[in-house]
Structure 1
Amino acid sequence: MHVSSRSWLAASLLALPCILPCVRAQSAATITVDSTTVDVNASSLAPAAAVVSNATSDSAAALFAPETIQLTEDVVANLSNINLVNASLFAFGADETSVEKRSSTGCKVFPGDAAWPSTLVWWIFDLLLGNSLIKTIPLAAPCYNDWPTVENAAECTYISNDWENSTLHAADPTSVMWPLYEGRTCMPTTDPTQNCTLGGYPSYAINVSNVAQIQLAVNFARNANLRLVIKNTGHDFNGKSAGAGALSIWTHNLKDITYIPEYSSSSYSGKAVKMAAGVQAYEVYEAARDYGVTVVGGEGRTVGVAGGFMAGGGHSPLSSLLGMAADQVLAIEVVTPDGRFVTATEESNSDLFWALRGGGGGMFGVMTSITVKAFPTFPVTTMQLSFATSSNVSSTVFWAGVRAYFDYLLDYTNAGTYAYFTSGATGANAYSFGLAPMFAPNLTKTELQTLVTPWLTRLAALGITVTPVITQYDNFYDAWWAVFPLESVGVTFIKTASRLWPKTNWASETSLNATFGAIQTTIEAGGSLLAFNVAAAENDGSENSINPAWRETTLHAILATVWSPIANDSVIVAASENLTNNWMQLWRNASPGAGAYMSEGDISEPNFQQAFYGTNYARLYAFKQKIDPTGLFYTPTGVGSENWYITGQLTGLPTQNGRLCPV
C-alpha cells in the first residue's frame, strides 16, 4: 500500500484493522495501546513514502512503479512531528557512531529483552508500512491446537500433502525450504497436542510492495539493533532467510518484468530484460520467450533469479555457453545498509556493483530489481538416460560405466552443454546412475548425438544397455520446462556439502582417477551424489566477485547424507560431522585449492572464506566493513559472518534458533 497523503491517513485511522489485539482506534485523533491513549492525527503523523521522479536515459531501464515509492530525507524529517514514537528509529544511517546500540551485550535485540520494541512501536511501524507487517505464524501451525489460528484439520491435510512442494514455501512469508536450519520446529503432524514454536523463524515479516517499506525496515532494524533477514523464496540450502527474533523483508511479490530492446552501457550494447526481486525462473523464462529472447537464470523452476541466486553467482543450464547469472547483470537497484535507495552499475556505485554480483545474498543490501543481458533464441537438445546394477551389470561394470562418463565431462562443457546427474546406492553393493538431463543449448539433435556417441559406444562395450531419449526444441523455455521438474524440498533428514572440481583434475589419468575415486568412495560409504557437469564461461563484461574457482570448474558436485526422520540430535550431529570432516575431506584432498558453491554448500564448510569466495574474500570483507559497519546484514557463511555467532548451537547442527551475538 502506498501512503500517499495525510488526508488518506486521517480518513483511514478509524478503519484500520487491529493487527495486534491490544491496539484499538478510538477516534481520528486518539489511539489506545494497552493502557496508554495517544494523539494521532493528520498533522502529527507524516506519510511514510513519497513518489519520486522516474527520469532515465533512453537506453537505461526505468524504475518500476514500486521503486518510485521511496522514503526520502524530507519524509524522515517530517516524522519528527510524531508524538508517538522516537522518530530516530526510522532515520537514515550516517556512520557507525550515529547508530543507537540498544543492547548492553552487543547482541541483536531479542524478544523479551527490555530493549525489544514495544507493542506501540510495532504498531506505528506497521502504520508507516501501510499495514504490510505480518506477525509470524509457522506454515504448519494449522496442524496444532496451541496457536491462535486454532487447529484446522483440512488446512493441515493440505499443507502436509504439499509440504515437499517448493511453491508452498515460496508463497509463505517466513517458511524456509530446508527446515533443518530453523530447528525442525512446527512441522506437519497428525498429533495436534504437540507444541508448535517459532524456532528459527523470524518474529515479523514485511510483505514488500514498494521500496519505501524496505527502507523503513532497514532503518528500523539498524537503529533498533534488530536482526534483519531477507526472504524471496527461501531456497537457500543453508536457511539464510531464517533467524530467531528477526525482522524479515519478504520480496516475493515484486513481480515486474520489462523488455529493453536497446540497452547501452560502457561494456554492453544490446537487448536486455529488467526483472524485480520476486521474479522466479519460470516467470522470467516464459516472459523472455514471449519477447523472442533468452536470459540466463536458474535450473530450478521456483528459484528467485534477482536475489540470492544471482548474488551467489548463479549457475544455470546456460552457464557453459554464456556464463553465470551474475555475469549477465547490467544494473542493480538496491537499498543499502544506511537505508538509501541507489542504482549500482559499472559507472555508478561500482564497488557495490562488483560486490553484489557474486559476493553472496543478503550481505550488502536489499536488491529490488536487476537488469540483465538478453540473447537471441536458439535450439536446445536434451538427452536423458539411466542405468543400474543388475543381474547383467555388476557393481564393477557399473562403476566402469560411470567412470567412462567422467572421461568426457571436459569435452561436454567445452561444447557448451550442462548436465544434471545423480548416483547412489539402491541396496547392498547395488547402485544407480541417472542423467536427467544433459542439456545442450545451441546444439541440434544430430550434433548432440555425435558428441555423446563415444561414451555410449563404451557403455555398450561394457554390456550396459541404455535407451537415451534425445529431443530437440526450438527455444530454451520449452526444453527447460520439459526436463527440469519442480523441486522437492521440506525434508529435515538431509544435509549437503559441495565441491567445485577444477578442469586441472582432468589433465591426467592420475588426477582424474583420484577425482573419481574420491567420489566413488563416498557413494559406497552411503553418500548420495547430485552433480552438475557445468563450466562458467568467461565473463565478457565487467569484473565481478564470483568465486574465481568457478572459472576453472567442470564439475559442481553435491554430496548428501541422510538419517532417519525420527533421529535425535546426537545422530544428526554425527552424520553431519562425518559429511563435513570425513567424506568431504576426501574430496578436498583430491582437489587442493579448489572451492565450493556458496548457495549449495556446507554450512559447516571449513575455511568457508577460501572455499566460497576465493581470492575475492579480502576485498569483499573490506567493502563489507565500509558499507555495513554495524553488521546489519548477517547470513551464515556470509562475508563477515565470522564476527558473529548464534547462541545455543550444537557443533555439527547449526540452526538459526538462537540470539545473534558478536564474537
Structure 2
Amino acid sequence: MAPSLRVAALAAAAVFAPFASAQSLTVDNTTIPATADTVAPAAADVDATSSNSTVDLFSSETVQLTGNVIANLTALNLTSVDLFDFDDETTAATGSSSKCRRSTQCKVVPGNILYPISLVWDIFGLLLGPGALIKTVPLASPCYTNWGDQSASECAFLTNNWSNDSYIHADDPTSIMWPLYQGLTCMPTDTPSNKCTLGGFPSYAVSVSNVAQIQLAVNFARNANLRLVVKNTGHDFVGKSSGAGALSIWTHNLKQIQFFSNLKLNGYSGPAFKLGAGVQAFEMYQAADQYGVTVVGGEGKTVGVMGGYILGGGHSPMSSLYGMAADQVLSMEVVLPNGQFVTASSTSNPDLFWALRGGGGSTFGVVTSVTVKAYPKLQVSVSTFNIVSGGNVTADLFWDAMTAYFKYLPVFTDAGTYSYFDIIQIAPGTYYFAMAPFFAPKLSQAQLETLLAPLFADWAALGVPVNALEYFNYDNFYDGWNLHFPLESVGVATLKTASRLFPRANFEPATGNATLFNETVAAIRYVVEQGSTILAFNIAANPAGGYPDNAVNPAWRKTVLHAIQAISWDADADTATVAAACLKLTNDWQARWRATCPEAGAYMSEADILEPNFQQSFYGSDNYARLYAYKQKVDPWGLFYAPTAVGSEDWYITGQVEGIPTQNGQLCHV
C-alpha cells in the first residue's frame, strides 16, 4: 500500500473514533504517535447539545466532519485532501471554487479526463470508513453472466418479486422503483447472455451511518464536479435518485427514532418524534402505536417518510384532518451544499426551513433527521366495496354511478376521511371501481355507515349494486392502516404515470359550476375508455385548524382528488412505440385533465416527468420564484440536481429520446 493510503486509513480511523481508533501512524516503517497535532481528534464527535440544534442530535449526527479534521489531514500531506474540503462563505456566494475541477458545461463521468482516478476513490473510501463506499452492482445482476455473480435461484426470486415487493428495491443502495428512468438496462431476464449495464444507476453509493460521511460525499462531489444524487428508498415516480456516473448518498440506514411525550419547541407543546431520514412508514407507525399516539405519514408501507416524501409535501391518510406531512415539521437537521451541517427551524435558518417543507428533495441539501408533531391516539373505521358494469349495469349506468360518487368528494373530506380507489376498464365497455379502502380516522363504524349511506342510496336508485361491502373498526391508526393498505407495486417497466390535483370547485355542481363538474367527469371517463388505469385519492389538505406557511404546493389546499393515471405498452415494444405512448399520456390524456383546472397542479412525487410548466404545477408560481432564488443562494454550484426539482431547468441530460427522459446520459448545464 502506498504511504499516502496508509496515512489515509489511519486518519479515517481517527476521524470516526466512535467506530475505530488509531494509536499511531506508520509511514515507511516509521511510527508517529497519533495526537491532536498529527491526526484530528475524535473531532468528529460533537457534543449533542453544542450545535444550533433545537432538539438533541442523534448519535449519528454528532459524528461530524470539521475544519480541524481537514486541517490535520492537510498537515499529513494526504493526497487529494482538497477534494474533501469545505467551501467558505465567499466561495458559496459566488459559486466559484479554487478546489472545484469542473468544466464550464458538464458534470464529469467515468471516462472523462477529470473524473477521479481509482486512487482518489480509494482514499475517499478509507475516509468514509469500512464498508461505506459501495461500487454499484445492479440489483438484477444475478440474472446475467457479465457481472460474475450469476445465480439462477436469486434471479428467479428477483423475477418473481420485482414488481410486487418494494422492500427489495428500498433495501438496495442504488435500485429505484421506477426503472423506466434508469433506462431499463439491467432488468430481470431469462436470457443470461444479454448484457447488464449501469445505465442510469450511479457509479458509487455511500451507505450513510453518520453526518461526517454525508459531508465528505457532498464536498467530494462539489469539488470534483461529480453528479450527486440522494437515495432513501427510491420511491419516486420520476427517477430522482438515479443518475449516470453519479455519486449517490444512501440515507436508508439512518433509522434512529426518539419520542418526546411533551416537547416544547418554538411555540409548540405536545408529543413529538425525532426520526432519522431512513425511517420508513411502517417503522414510524409501529413506533407511534407503541407510544400510544398518531403521526402523519404516507399511505405506502415502504416509503421513507423523512426523505423525499416529506420534503415534497407528503400526502397522508391523515391529511383531511391534519394537513400534509410537511405541515407537521418542527425542525430538521441538514447537510448543506457547502458541506456544513445545520438545523432548520422557525428560529434557525428559517428560509431553509420554509423551502425544505414542500420544496422538494435532492435540492437544498441532505436531511438527516426531522422532528414532527404527534397527535393523540384515535379510532379508525374502514370500508371496502366495489361496483362493476355488466348485466343490467351498462357502461353508461356505471359512469352515472361514478358521477354520483364524485359529487360526494367534498362531503367526505369535510368529514376528515381519505379514500383510495381504482377505476379500470377490464374489457372494452366493461368497467370496475374498487374502494380499497375508504379510511375514516376518528369515526366510529356507525358514523362511517351513516356517512356512506346517501351514496349507496343514490347507487341503489340507479340500479347499481354495491359488491363485497365490508366495515371494520379499530381503536388505533396502525391496525387500520396496516391491514387495509396494500404493499406498493413497483418496478413496472411497461408503464408511465401522470397525475392531477383536482380542486374542490370541480366537484360541487349544486353550489358551484355544473358545467365544470360535467367536463371533469367526462375527462376522467375519456382516459379510462382510452385504456388508462386510474388510482386515486379523495383527500384534502386544508384542515380546520389551519396550516403553517411553508413551500407546499398551494394547489394542495384546494384539492379534494389526487388522481394518478397510467398508460402501458407491450413488453417487447420498441423505443418509438414507448415514446409515442409517453407523449400521448402527456399531450392528450393528461392535457384533458389539466384543461379542467389549469390553475391547479400535480403532486411532484407521483407525477409526469414531462409535465409542462412543472414549476407552476408542482410548486405554484409564487412559491417557485422564491424557491428558485433561494436555490441560487444556497447551491450556486448546482450540486443538487434532480428531474423536475427546483433549478433543474438549468440543466439537461445528453442523449435523450423525446418522450423517454432517462437519467443515463451526462448532466450538462444549459
When the two structures are superposed, what TM-score results if normalisation uses the length of structure 2? 0.93
Find 1:515's aligned residue among 514, 517, 520. 520
- Work out the CA distance in 2 between the residues paired with 1:30 and 1:225: 33
The aligned runs of 1:202-217 (5 Å cut-off) are: 202-217=202-217
- Work out the CA distance in 2 between the residues paired with 1:4 and 1:250: 18
2:570 corresponds in structure 1 to: 564
2:6 corresponds in structure 1 to: none
Any idea what SS the aligned residue of 1:412 has? helix
Aligned partners of 2:410 and 2:504 also within 8 Å: yes
- Work out the CA distance in 1 between the residues paired with 2:248 and 2:192: 27
Closer, same or farther: CA 246–480 of 1 in aligned 2, 3 Å: same
The aligned runs of 1:387-426 (5 Å cut-off) are: 387-426=387-426
Percent identity over paired residues: 57
User: How far off is 1:6 after superposition?
Assistant: 12
Instruction: Provide Cα deviations, 1:86-118, integer angstroms capped at 9, x if missing partner.
Output: 221111122222254424352001101111111
The aligned runs of 1:262-661 (5 Å cut-off) are: 262-466=262-466, 467-506=468-507, 507-538=512-543, 540=546, 542-614=548-620, 615-661=622-668
1:25 corresponds in structure 2 to: none
Closer, same or farther: CA 219–58 of 1 in aligned 2, 3 Å: closer
- Greater mean alpha carbon deviation, residues 275-284 or residues 153-162: 153-162
Read off the aligned partner of 1:516 and give its amino acid letter. Answer: V
Any idea what SS the aligned residue of 1:70 has? coil
User: How far off is 1:40 after superposition?
Assistant: 11
User: How far off is 1:541 after superposition?
Assistant: 5.4
Any idea what SS the aligned residue of 1:401 has? helix
Closer, same or farther: CA 88–47 of 1 in aligned 2, 3 Å: farther
* Unaligned 5+ runs, structure 1: 14-27, 32-37
Read off the aligned partner of 1:217 and give its amino acid letter. Answer: A
- Work out the CA distance in 2 between the residues paired with 1:39 and 1:190: 55
User: How far off is 1:56 after superposition?
Assistant: 7.1
User: How far off is 1:5 after superposition?
Assistant: 4.6
Any idea what SS the aligned residue of 2:96 has? helix
Aligned partners of 2:53 and 2:333 also within 8 Å: no
Read off the aligned partner of 2:532 and give its amino acid letter. Answer: G
Closer, same or farther: CA 598–243 of 1 in aligned 2, 3 Å: same
Any idea what SS the aligned residue of 2:502 has? strand
Q: How many residues align?
A: 642
- Work out the CA distance in 2 between the residues paired with 1:49 and 1:493: 50
Read off the aligned partner of 1:66 and give its amino acid letter. Answer: S
1:35 corresponds in structure 2 to: none
Aligned partners of 2:16 and 2:129 also within 8 Å: no
Read off the aligned partner of 1:650 and give its amino acid letter. Answer: V
1:29 corresponds in structure 2 to: 27
Any idea what SS the aligned residue of 1:264 has? strand
Instruction: Provide Cα deviations, 1:581-630, integer angstroms capped at 9, x if missing partner.
Output: 11111111111211110000100000000000002000000000000000
Aligned partners of 1:418 and 1:533 also within 8 Å: yes
Read off the aligned partner of 1:121 and give its amino acid letter. Answer: V
User: How far off is 1:525 after superposition?
Assistant: 1.1
Aligned partners of 1:102 and 1:109 also within 8 Å: no
- Work out the CA distance in 1 between the residues paired with 2:20 and 2:355: 40
Aligned partners of 1:6 and 1:47 also within 8 Å: no
Aligned partners of 2:323 and 2:547 also within 8 Å: no
- Work out the CA distance in 2 between the residues paired with 1:622 and 1:317: 33
Closer, same or farther: CA 579–440 of 1 in aligned 2, 3 Å: same
1:130 pairs with 2:129: yes
User: How far off is 1:41 after superposition?
Assistant: 9.6
1:53 pairs with 2:47: yes
When the two structures are superposed, what TM-score results if normalisation uses the length of structure 1? 0.94
Read off the aligned partner of 2:668 and give its amino acid letter. Answer: C
User: How far off is 1:10 after superposition?
Assistant: 5.2
Any idea what SS the aligned residue of 1:438 has? strand
Read off the aligned partner of 1:153 and give its amino acid letter. Answer: A
Instruction: Provide Cα deviations, 1:130-180, integer angstroms capped at 9, x if missing partner.
Output: 021000000010111111x33111221222222121000000000001100
Closer, same or farther: CA 203–57 of 1 in aligned 2, 3 Å: closer
- Work out the CA distance in 1 between the residues paired with 2:441 and 2:216: 43
- Work out the CA distance in 2 between the residues paired with 1:333 and 1:4: 20
- Work out the CA distance in 2 between the residues paired with 1:325 and 1:386: 29
Closer, same or farther: CA 261–56 of 1 in aligned 2, 3 Å: farther
Read off the aligned partner of 1:632 and give its amino acid letter. Answer: L
Instruction: Provide Cα deviations, 1:424-451, integer angstroms capped at 9, x if missing partner.
Output: 2111111111111110000111111111
Any idea what SS the aligned residue of 1:616 has? helix
Closer, same or farther: CA 40–358 of 1 in aligned 2, 3 Å: farther
Aligned partners of 1:497 and 1:560 also within 8 Å: yes
